[in-house]
Structure formats: structure tokens, C-alpha cells
A = this chain, B = another copy of it.
Amino acid sequence: MTQIPLAELHVLRRAAEPALADPQSSALARLVGPGVAELAPAGIAPFAMRRIGENAPLLHQGAQARHAYLVQAGYFKIVRIGEDGYEQVLDFVARDELLGADALADGRYTSGAVALEESWVWALELDAVQRLVRRVPGFASHWQALLARQIARAGELAWMMAAVGADKRTARFVILYSRRMAERGQSPRRLLLHMGRRDIACHLGLAPESISRAFSLLADSGILRVDNREIEILDAGALHHYALTTRGYPEHATGRRLAAAA
């Protein structure tokens, strides 16, 4: 009955002192390629790793941007502070993902970023990135793929937020979380939430109590097993089915004039 807790993950989290230039484990090497080691001495890519303490901010909303950051290890939340001082959690960011890329638009960070746990990031000078885009073949497409990935996330966000009920929205959050776990090569079934209920609520536009209730409901339905921040997906099919029904309208008679191009 009592399964082994995700203790190994906890340990892994604590001991996540990352290797630097090893292509196997360096997010930077995965982005730039194996030739990364030769770039730094040449002055083309003076990329440095930074450590961010738990609850420490990395990006400051509205601040002048000189760097983007590539997450090597740890977990961040993207927050936007409204004019009224209320914070909204826009997204969560994990290893191999980009922070602060939105600053490419106008040179300022449109949102803040806070580490949810001890984290390590690569500081990418925006100027240096531009040099790499022009000089290093293949880098431009890697970089743009990373940017495009962020754009695609907007769609995921809209999909999640468009769900009607609090429980359905929570179900979709779990699905997305699981999918991202899988992208990082981790188990898509046994999840360790790196954030608290309040941050989840802030992200989904719900009350923390509703998150709690939704988790309890999904647990009682036998779809999830919930133990504080440890979550296990017991019935993925049922979870997807549960998350399916949404506001929206069946694909109406689109395609009446399919070919209208010149």
C-alpha cells in the first residue's frame, strides 16, 4: 500500500550541484553544442553560471535587461506584480528552459522571476547571444527553437486557463506538469510539485482552497494520489478525459471557403 516516497528526488534536488561543461549535464552545452568550451576563451561567449538562493529573485520586472538566463538546475516561478501590488504567477520554469527572453522585445523584463529552490542558471549576455546567432552555424535555429517553445507555451497556458471548473483546470495543470516532466526525461506519472498551493492557485487564477479541494476530488475519484507535494497519476486516461470537457464550441462549419488564396 504505502509506496516508496519520492525521497530519491528530494535527495537529487539537494545534491544538484551541476557539472559545468559536460555536454551530458550542461544545459549550455545542449544549447550551444559541444564547441561551447572553445567560445569562452575566444571572448565570443562569456557565459557564466550563477547560483540563486531559495526565494531569491533573479529577474526584476521592468528592469533594464542585459542577460537572458538558461536554467541549469532548480525551479523558478515567473511573476508579474500588478499596479495594485498583487502578484500573478505566469509560469514555472525548469532546467533547459529560458528566463527573461521576453526582454528581447524592448530591452526590459516584462515580468519577474523568483527561485522556488536553490538554483543554478547560465547568464547569457544578450549581445553575446547575437554574436553567436550570426557566427555559430546551427545556433540560430537552436535559439529560435527555444524562443518558439516559449511561444507555444502561451497556447498551453490558454488551454489550461480556458477550462471551466476549478477541478478541470487543476487537472489540466497536472497534465501539463506531467508533460514537462516527460520532456526532461523524468517520470510523467510520479510528480514532485516544486511550488506551493498558493503559487498554483495564483497561476490558475483560483483560490488555494479550490486547489486543495480539486486535488482531494481527483484523489477520491481514484485518478490521482496526492500526498502534499507528491502526486502520482494513477489513471492517466481518466485524467485526460476529466480535463477534456471545456468551454468552447464544437468546430463549427469552418472550411466553407477552404481555398481562397491567390
Contact = CB atoms under 8 A, between A and B. Distances in A.
A53 interface: yes
Interface in A213-262: 240, 244-252, 254-262
Interface residues of A, number: 79
A103 interface: yes
A36 interface: no
A103 to B, nearest CB: 7
Interface stretch (A24-32, A37-45, A140-148, A184-192): A140-148
Contacts of A212: none
A78 B156 CA distance: 13
Interface in A42-81: 49-57, 78, 80-81
A260 B56 contact: yes
A206 interface: yes
Contacts of A149: 105
B88 A145 contact: no
A81 B256 CA distance: 17
